[in-house]
Structure 1
Amino acid sequence: MLPPDDDEGFTVPEKLPLYLKGREVFTLTKKIADLIDEEDEILTSLKDCMLLDAAFLTVKVAGAEAADLYDLRMENATLIRKAAQDLLSHCKSLEMFGYKDVQYLRLLREAIEEYRFLFVEWVQGFDPWNFVNDRWGLFNPPGVQAQEEDSD
């Protein structure tokens, strides 16, 4: 599936299925978070973490699309993956700490699973040969070694 482009051929993140699903996850997370009693410090802390993690699902997609380089896209993809996994962990924490409306957490888990499928497809579309060498060696394409010195 080709990414939606604007008139100049640039990908418009806001039109990507992954981005749109990320917005859906954020909206659902916000509705769940709004049900948290502000008097409960632990749940309120989890609420803040959940909203931040849910926001990453769109913000980092936009950042990756703007960067267009494999190494920067992979770095953003890593942060997205971590945020999604943390969001799932927060659901479990909500249950453990007495969140009353647990029936809505299943909806969030399902939405994150749908997001995951779109994420896998999105990452597979990265061009591994459009990169700047990552001197730390984490985000280079397969087979590319980290350079010891800047090539500048």
Structure 2
Amino acid sequence: MWDDFDDEDPDFDEEGSFDYHKDQERVYKHPLMKKARDIVGLTKALVGSLDEARRELYGTLMLEDSLSLTAKFSAAENSSDYVIKMEKAMLIKIHAKSLFSITYQLALEETHAEEHLQLLREAIEEYRKLFLDWIKEFDSKDRTDDGWGIFTG
């Protein structure tokens, strides 16, 4: 039963206890997480400079989209299951594309200098490239059927 337990797992200390801080550090040092945190910072700056009406209209969605990049990545990284990783990856894609789209709506409404919006777009594009490398690491053999039939076939 325990034959597949890896004593060399980097998340376990010498006594065989799970090292939460080491695992958390691994997640926070990942290039995708670093870029996601950059996106959160840029988004907060943009939302903070919106007028009250636009902040109410777009701000919450923009912040939710940007913060979801970090939350969903963390959830995916803390699972070995392919189906869970793919579900989180799909949600990351949706939130990133939503945030990207809002930058064009803000440009149409001329709320910001184009250079400020372009900074966020470029950060999202860099994130997308890192994302593509990240999902290549997923092991499709390590999956469980969650009963919904997505990513299981």
What is the TM-score with the length of structure 1 in the denominator?
Answer: 0.81
- Mapping of 1:14-33 within 5 angstroms? 14-33=28-47
CA deviations on 1:61-107 (whole Å, 9 max, x unpaired) are 00001122100000000000000000011111112234133320000
Long gaps (5+) in structure 2: 1-8, 13-21
- Root mean square deviation of aligned Cα: 1.9
2:78 is paired with a residue whose SS is helix
What is the total number of aligned residue pairs between the two structures? 135
- Mapping of 1:40-119 within 5 angstroms? 40=53, 42-119=54-131
CA deviations on 1:23-44 (whole Å, 9 max, x unpaired) are 0011011111111011x2x443
- Alpha-carbon distance between aligned partners in 1 of 2:130 and 2:57, rounded to the nearest angstrom: 29
The corresponding residue for 1:149 is: none
1:116 is paired with a residue whose SS is helix
> Does residue 1:138 correspond to 2:150, yes or no?
yes
- Alpha-carbon distance between aligned partners in 1 of 2:104 and 2:128, rounded to the nearest angstrom: 18
What is the TM-score with the length of structure 2 in the denominator?
Answer: 0.81
What letter is aligned with 1:27?
G
- Alpha-carbon distance between aligned partners in 1 of 2:73 and 2:61, rounded to the nearest angstrom: 19
Long gaps (5+) in structure 1: 145-152
> Could you list the runs of 4 or more consecutive aligned residues of structure 1 that deviate by over 4 angstroms after TM superposition?
none
